[in-house]
Structure 1
Amino acid sequence: MGFFRVLPSGDVNLRAPKPAPRGSVINLAKGQTIRLAKTDLITATVSWPPSTDYDVYAIVHYQDGRQVVVSTFGTKDSPRSFLTATPDGAVRHLGDVQRGGGTTATETLEIRMSPQIAAVAPVVYSAQSNGTGSFRRYQVTMRIEGGSPTVVVPAPNASDDNRVYTCVPGIIRNTPDGLQVESLELYSRPDSEHRPAIDPQLGVVMDAGPVNAYK
Structure 2
Amino acid sequence: MKKGDAPVSLAKTAGVTARMTWSSDTDYDLLAVVLRANGAVEYVATFGASGFPARLSTADGAVKHLGNVGREAHGLAEEVIEITLNPSIRAVVPVAYSAQSNGPGSFYRYRVSLEIDNGAAGDRIVIAAENANDDDQIYSCVPGMIENTQEAVVIHALEQYSQRGSEFRPTVALVRDGLPHEAAETIEVAMDAGPVNDWK
TM over 0.5: yes
Q: What residue ranges of structure 1 are gaps of 5+ in the alignment? A: 1-27
User: What RMSD, in angstroms, separates the aligned Cα atoms of the two structures?
Assistant: 1.3
2:3 to 19, 22, 30: 30
1:205 to 173, 183, 190: 190
Question: Is the counterpart of residue 119 in structure 1 residue 104 in structure 2?
Answer: no
**What TM-score, normalized to structure 2?**
0.89
SS in structure 1 opposite 2:57? coil
CA distance in 2: counterparts of 1:208 and 1:177, whole angstroms: 30
Alignment of 1:40-189 (within 5 A): 40-75=14-49, 77-78=50-51, 81-145=53-117, 146=119, 147-189=121-163
Per-residue deviation at 1:139?
Answer: 2.1
**Counterpart contact for 1:53–1:130, Cα < 8 Å:** yes
Amino acid at match of 2:147: R
Residue 191 of structure 1 corresponds to 165
Count, aligned residues:
186
Amino acid at match of 2:196: V
Per-residue deviation at 1:83?
Answer: 1.1
Per-residue deviation at 1:102?
Answer: 4.7
CA distance in 1: counterparts of 2:67 and 2:97, whole angstroms: 15
Percent identical:
46
Per-residue deviation at 1:78?
Answer: 4.3
CA distance in 1: counterparts of 2:156 and 2:190, whole angstroms: 15
Deviates more, 1:129-138 or 1:64-73: 129-138
CA distance in 2: counterparts of 1:157 and 1:46, whole angstroms: 14
Per-residue deviation at 1:135?
Answer: 1.5
CA distance in 2: counterparts of 1:150 and 1:157, whole angstroms: 18
| Larger fraction in helix | 2
Deviates more, 1:123-132 or 1:140-149: 140-149
CA distance in 2: counterparts of 1:78 and 1:203, whole angstroms: 22
**Counterpart contact for 1:31–1:182, Cα < 8 Å:** no
**Counterpart contact for 1:60–1:117, Cα < 8 Å:** yes
Amino acid at match of 2:20: V
SS in structure 2 opposite 1:198? strand
Amino acid at match of 1:132: P
Deviates more, 1:50-59 or 1:34-43: 34-43
Distance 1:176 1:78, change over 3 A: closer
Residue 11 of structure 1 corresponds to none
